[in-house]
Amino acid sequence: MNKKDLDVGTGLVGAPACGDVMKLQIRVDPETNKISDVKFKTFGCGSAIASSSYLTELVRGMSLDEAGKVKNTEIAKELCLPPVKLHCSMLAEDAIKSAISDYYTKNPKAKITSLDGTGMKMPAAEATPAAAAA
Amino acid sequence: MHPAENKVRAEAISARINDAYKTLSNPLLRAQYLLGLRGVDVANDEALKVEEPDLLMAVLEAHEEIVEAEAEEDLDTPREENDARIAASEQALEHAFQHDDVDAAKHEAVRLRYWVNIKESLDNWEKGKDAVLEH
C-alpha cells in the first residue's frame, strides 16, 4: 500500500528488547470508517510474525473503533504465546493503534477513536481536539 | 574421584565463567550487562518502546533489502553498511560508558540490538527463504 494515500494509515513500531520491527497498514473506507484492507510486514521472531498475521485477520472489516480496542491478550490467547513472548502481541497491539493514529492524523475530520487505557498517546488532530477526550 | 557436592559446585562455576566470557566478548551483551549494573534493563523491559521513526524505517529498509536479494553478492553492500553501523554503535557505546552517560548508552544499546538482528538476517540469508529471527 502507498503510505501517502489519504485512506491508508501506517503504523511502524519496534520492540527494543528483541530488536523486532513491525509495519502495519490499514486502508479505511471513508464512508463506513471500516478497515477494508490490511497488510503487515514484520521482521522478527516467529511469534512476532504470527501476532501481526493474526492481527490482520482479526481487524479486517472492523470499524476503527473496534480495531482500536483489540487487546494484546486476545492475540496472545489465540496463539497460546508463552510469557516470554507476550511482548510480541503487545507489539502487534501497538502497531494497529499506531496505524489508526496515523490515519486520524491524515484525516483530522474523521471521528476520533478512543484509545483509553492503551498507554499510547493520540497525536492531537487539529480540527477536532475535543473529540479525543470524548 | 571428586565428591558429588564438588561436582555441582564445579559445574555452577564453569557455567558462570562461560556466561561471563560470552558477555565480555559480545559488545551487545556487554552493553546490556553494564546498563544492568546501573539499573537499566534494555534486554528484558517489554514495555520499552522505540520513539525513533527514522531508526525503524532504516531497520525495515535494511531487512527488505535482504529479503529481496537474489544472490549472495547482492548482500555485499548491505553487509558493509551494517558492519559500519555496528562499528559506529560500538564506538558510541564505548564513549558513553567512559563518560558514564547512561541515557546515551541505553539509546545506543537499542540501536545496536537492531543492527545485530540485521546481521543475523544477513548471515542466515538463503535464496527464497523468509527471514525469521531466532531469539
3-state secondary structure at position B84: helix
pLDDT digits (tens, 9 = 90+) for A78-88: 899 888 888 88
User: What ipTM does this complex have?
Assistant: 0.73
Question: By CB neighbour count within 10 A (0-12 exposed, 13-18 middle, 19+ buried), where does B84 fall?
Answer: exposed
- Residue A72 has φ and ψ, to the nearest 5°, of -65, -30
**Residue A17: which of B43, B57, B121 has the nearest Cβ?**
B43
User: Is the model's pLDDT at B2 over the cut of 90?
Assistant: no
Distance from CA of A83 to the nearest CA of B (A): 11
* B133 DSSP assignment: B
User: Could you report the per-residue pLDDT of A28-53, keeping only the tens digit for each?
Assistant: 998 888 999 999 999 988 889 999 99
Which of B41, B115, B132 should be substituted to probe chain A, the one whose Cβ sees the most A Cβ atoms within 10 Å? Answer: B132
Q: CATH fold of B4-123, please?
A: Monooxygenase (1.20.1280)
What is the Cα–Cα distance from B92 to B28, expressed in whole angstroms? 12
Q: Give Cβ neighbours of residue B37 (< 8 Å, ≥ 6 apart).
A: none
Q: Which of A15, A43, A46 sits opposite B60 (nearest CB)?
A: A43
Q: Say how far apart CA B66 and CA B115 lie, in whole Å.
A: 13
Closest alpha carbon to A109 in A6, A20, A23: A6
User: Rounded to whole angstroms, how far apart are CA atoms B135 and A30?
Assistant: 40
DSSP, res A30: T
Q: Measure the CA–CA gap between A120 and A110, rounded to whole angstroms.
A: 19
Looking at the predicted structure, is the pLDDT value of residue B121 above 60?
yes
Percentage, residues of chain B above pLDDT 70: 87
| Alpha-carbon span A120 to A102, nearest angstrom | 12
Q: How far apart are CA B23 and CA B52, in angstroms?
A: 27
Does A45 participate in catalysis according to the annotation? no
Q: How far is the alpha carbon of A127 from chain B, nearest alpha carbon, in Å?
A: 24
pLDDT score recorded for residue A18:
80
- Chain B positions touching A72 (Cβ under 8 A) are none
Annotated catalytic, A88? yes
User: Is the confidence at residue A116, as pLDDT, over 80?
Assistant: no
* Beta-carbon separation of A14 and B116 below 8 A: no
Q: Is B90 exposed, middle or buried (0-12, 13-18, 19+ CB in 10 A)?
A: middle
Q: Is A131 near chain B, with CB under 8 Å?
A: no
Task: Say if the Cβ atoms of B63 and A21 lie within 8 Å.
Answer: yes
- Concatenating the DSSP letter of every residue in B24-77 gives HH-HHHHHHHHHHHTT--TTT-TT-----HHHHHHHHHHHHHHHT--SGGGGHH
The answer to whether the CB atoms of B42 and A94 lie below 8 A apart is: no
The DSSP secondary-structure symbol of A115 reads -
What's the whole-number mean pLDDT along residues B10-19? 94
pLDDT at B130: 65
**pLDDT tens by residue, B25-76:** 999 999 999 999 998 888 777 666 777 888 999 999 998 888 888 888 889 9
Q: What is the pTM of this model?
A: 0.77
Write the residue in A14, A17, A44 that is nearest to B133 by C-beta.
A44
How confident is the model over B88-101, as pLDDT tens digits?
999 999 999 999 99
- Amino acid making up residue B26: N
* pLDDT tens digits for range A60-78: 999 988 888 888 888 988 8
